[in-house]
Amino acid sequence: MRCRTVPLPRLAVDEQRIIGRKAGGNIAALTGAEVIGITQALDGRQHSITCADTVTVDWSAGGTQYMIFDRDTVAMTFSNPTPGGVYRLLLQQSSGGSDSITWSTTIKWRGGSTPTLTAAGNAVDILTFTFVNSVWYGNITQNFA
């Protein structure tokens, strides 16, 4: 088997637009909000959330968010998602554990049921959310110690 080098299409990126050449030689451009949306959807920045009775996770602050519980129950909603975006939320139990989230009803959970967080003190659960057609799809990986 022989390998051959294939040149990559030309691509230009700046804060306002992405311009590249698609197959067939057509030029494609994404500008303004589309570039911001791509940036947010691929964003790997971590952002710490301050625990409160009601928390709105602002996904424009970062694609990975982390909160340590300091109360038994938190009501949580999301804002500023990018259509098609995939986001991560890490939740760490307080040292006493058994903390919980009251989730927005707009989230569709794997298996159809809202998950119960790991109850052990200081345990971390990682939740992944995908936002498609104005619907949130949620999944959980649990019990990191």
pLDDT (average), residues 116-129: 98
Closest of 135, 143, 73 to residue 105, by C-alpha: 135
Q: Which domains does the chain have, with CATH numbers?
A: 43-144 (2.60.120)
Q: Which amino acid is at 88?
A: R
**71-98 pLDDT per residue, tens:** 999 999 999 999 999 999 999 999 999 9
Catalogue the E-assigned strands of 6-144. Answer: 11-13, 17-21, 27-31, 46-48, 54-58, 64-68, 73-79, 86-92, 100-103, 107-109, 124-132, 135-144
Q: Return the structure tokens found at 92.
A: 């760490």
Give 78: exposed, middle or buried? Use CB within 10 Å, 0-12, 13-18, 19+.
buried
Q: How far apart are CA 125 and CA 142, in angstroms?
A: 4
Cα 10 to Cα 118: distance, rounded to the nearest angstrom? 48
More confident residue, 28 or 58: 58
* Burial (CB count within 10 angstroms: exposed 0-12, middle 13-18, buried 19+), residue 88: middle
Looking at residues 19-24, what average pLDDT do you find?
A: 55
Structure tokens at 90: 């890490």
Give, for 39, the enclosing helix (H) or strand (E). helix 33-41
Mean pLDDT across the chain? 83
- The pTM of this model reads 0.71
15 or 137, higher pLDDT: 137
